[in-house]
A and B are shown apart, each in its own frame.
Chain A
Amino acid sequence: MSVYPQQPNYSQKAPSPMDYDLQSEKQRIAESTEEIKKELLEKWQKRYANAQIFPDAILPMSSTLRDFLLSFQNTLFYNDLARKFNLNQKQRDALPQIIWQICLNKKWDQLGALIQNNLSIGLPIAEQIVASLNQNIILKARELSQQNFAGQGGLSDLKTESPENRTAKLTLNEALKQYPGIGEQLITSEHISLKNFPEPVRPSIKNWLADYTFTLGYEKHSSVERNNYVFHGSNSLHLSSADRQKLTYILSAYDTDVSITINKVLKQVMFPAVSSEPKISPVPKETSAPPTRVAQNMIPEIKAQRPELAHIQTSRPAQEPNSRTQPLQSAAIHQNSFFHNDAPSQTASMPARPAEVPAKPASVNDQKTSAANISFSSAQKLPYEKIYPVKSLPQQDATKPQPSEEKPHSFVIRPVFSQPEKKLETRPLPKNVINLKEDK
């Protein structure tokens, strides 16, 4: 009799169909799937830690503005706009491109012209579209573009994290190890050339350090060597002063291993406030008074001549001109001028810097001084003052350049956001101004 090895009794061990719990099986798979997803997400994040998310063209844009422009709501808004104004597909498709173009170049005042040119529509409809775009997109975009402090990672992040939790003090090397994304942070605006790279590369921290170490070697460098690189290096030769300051900050952090502040949420180096405006150096007491002081000294004299100016506050504000506050002030003024499109644009009358509004005037407005009524013959002027020929300020032509064949004339120095020009026409000139017109 043949003896068979003992077979396992499957019928006893296998669960019966009644034992199979579909619900728990589903639960098991679902939980495992979540765990696998987490693992895959970690792997994905490692893999794409240094990946390029946005094309180079839009990297300089603040991330809050970028996120705002990438909101899906905008697409729906363009659809609504197209429906409302009976725009065809081509016209509708042009809208977002125009908005991107404006936001990238920060040419906020070109919306009207671009809409009219690209959509080939009549002025009334163009104006309505512009108004709608301004109200729903441009206004907000302008605000966000000016919020550089919050710009690098979304306001939501900044709101949820307390300032203490957001930042960390680390050396640059530690920071680069801990947050590899920091290496991709752009610190200057122009592409740079690296040895052995055929094409210019992004001006990121990593690339700048690569160029620095290639040029000067991997060892630590003295501030003299560093400055030599920053001012005379092939890539740094044409840097703006703000960019140069940033580069110096990074290189000195690299060389000296000094702790720098890292924004953990944004994974970026936080640079100390860099002033893009020229700094006003304090004037020593021994020196003669600066132009502002001269102007101040003259105010009582002018007041004596002109009683209507008696209300003018003659004392200068306690604080010195602060270049760090200036962008905000100018921003506010920008918005004001934006709201009053009907009035002749004051900035348009400044050919030298048509897109910018001098920074100082906000504080002048705050003091409610009518500085527009003060005339000086001195060639010296405050940085925020412009020279306008007295004769050539008829009210209707205030924004247009004046003909050059005008006779020699006296000049009025006035802040650009002054009172209406009609006051300039009627008021008498102070004694220290020679009006050659009248003398003739």
Chain B
Amino acid sequence: MKDLTAQEEFNIQGIIREPHFSYIDSTLTNRKRVSYSVLARKEGDVLLIDSSGFLIDSVFAGITERHIEYIAKNGPKNYKENLFKILQDKEMLHGVSEIIQALDKELGENATQNRERINNVIRYIKDNRIVFEF
């Protein structure tokens, strides 16, 4: 392990498995940071996030179309259940909306690509609810 200290290793593991616990104060900046970290992941790596993470707005806001397709095809029951649950959580969805608005704002005044991405993800889950509902 490339001379990592135990602390460093622990931190890296935490970021991979529980990115949503990487901030204490849930400022928009912190939540955005988590969304970015999820957004940048490969499809396979997104499953390394603990299933509880998919109930959190900052994680959900980072999910891409490719991620959700991968989860639908390979994700265990609890992952999918949580993804379906968050769609019923108005508070979390509001949080998602806030984050993607902020992400879009960074891209430009009229940018909507993050909103479109999340809309697509939500639409995909609803279209394939048969796979997400157990």
Q: A53 is contacted by which of B9, B69, B74 (Cβ under 8 Å)?
A: B74
Q: Are A70 and B126 in contact (CB under 8 A)?
A: no
Interface Cβ pair total, 8 Å cutoff: 84
Chain A hits for B16, CB < 8 A:
33, 36-37, 40
The main secondary structure of chain B at its interface with chain A is helix
Chain A hits for B8, CB < 8 A:
29, 32
Of the listed residues B68, B131, B134, the one surrounded by the most CB atoms of chain A closer than 10 A to its CB is B131
Within 8 A of B (CB), among A33-91: 33, 35-37, 40-41, 44, 48, 51-55, 57-58, 66-67, 69-72, 74-76, 78-79
Asked, given contacts A36-B12, A37-B16, A58-B130, whether A70 binds B2 with beta carbons under 8 Å apart, the answer is no
Query: Is B45's beta carbon under 8 Å from chain A?
Result: yes
Chain B hits for A55, CB < 8 A:
130-131, 133-134
Asked, given contacts A35-B2, A51-B77, A52-B76, whether A40 binds B134 with beta carbons under 8 Å apart, the answer is no
A76 to B68 CA separation, bound complex (whole angstroms): 14
Query: Is B6's beta carbon under 8 Å from chain A?
Result: no
Q: Are A67 and B73 in contact (CB under 8 A)?
A: yes
Q: Are A36 and B131 in contact (CB under 8 A)?
A: no
- Using a CB–CB cutoff of 8 Å, the interface residues on chain A facing chain B are 28-29, 31-33, 35-37, 40-41, 44, 48, 51-55, 57-58, 66-67, 69-72, 74-76, 78-79, 93, 96-97, 100, 104
A-B pairs with beta carbons under 8 Å apart, 11 shown:
A28-B3, A32-B1, A32-B4, A36-B1, A36-B12, A51-B76, A52-B77, A53-B76, A72-B66, A72-B69, A75-B120
Q: B44 is contacted by which of A33, A41, A57 (Cβ under 8 Å)?
A: A41
Of the listed residues A35, A75, A96, the one surrounded by the most CB atoms of chain B closer than 10 A to its CB is A75
Chain A hits for B12, CB < 8 A:
29, 32-33, 36
Query: Is B115's beta carbon under 8 Å from chain A?
Result: no
Interface residues of B, count at CB 8 A? 35
Chain A nearest Cβ from B117, distance in angstroms: 11
Query: Is B48's beta carbon under 8 Å from chain A?
Result: yes
Q: Are A48 and B76 in contact (CB under 8 A)?
A: yes
The closest CB in chain A to the CB of B15 belongs to A33
- Using a CB–CB cutoff of 8 Å, the interface residues on chain B facing chain A are 1-4, 8-9, 12-13, 16-17, 44-45, 47-48, 65-66, 68-69, 72-77, 120, 123-124, 126-131, 133-134
Chain A hits for B65, CB < 8 A:
72
Chain A hits for B3, CB < 8 A:
28
Q: Are B47 and A44 in contact (CB under 8 A)?
A: yes
The closest CB in chain A to the CB of B128 belongs to A70
The closest CB in chain B to the CB of A67 belongs to B73
Chain A nearest Cβ from B131, distance in angstroms: 6
Chain B nearest Cβ from A24, distance in angstroms: 10
The closest CB in chain B to the CB of A54 belongs to B131
Q: Are B9 and A100 in contact (CB under 8 A)?
A: no
Pick the 8 closest A-B CB pairs, nearest first.
A51-B76, A96-B127, A32-B2, A72-B69, A52-B77, A75-B124, A70-B72, A48-B76
A93 to B128 CA separation, bound complex (whole angstroms): 10
A322 to B36 CA separation, bound complex (whole angstroms): 58
The closest CB in chain A to the CB of B72 belongs to A70
A53 to B74 CA separation, bound complex (whole angstroms): 6
Chain A hits for B120, CB < 8 A:
72, 75-76
Q: B127 is contacted by which of A28, A75, A104 (Cβ under 8 Å)?
A: A75
Asked, given contacts A40-B48, A51-B77, A55-B130, whether A72 binds B124 with beta carbons under 8 Å apart, the answer is yes
Q: Are A78 and B130 in contact (CB under 8 A)?
A: no
Chain B nearest Cβ from A371, distance in angstroms: 44
Chain B hits for A41, CB < 8 A:
44, 48
Chain B hits for A67, CB < 8 A:
73
Chain A hits for B17, CB < 8 A:
40
Asked, given contacts A48-B76, A52-B77, whether A69 binds B128 with beta carbons under 8 Å apart, the answer is yes
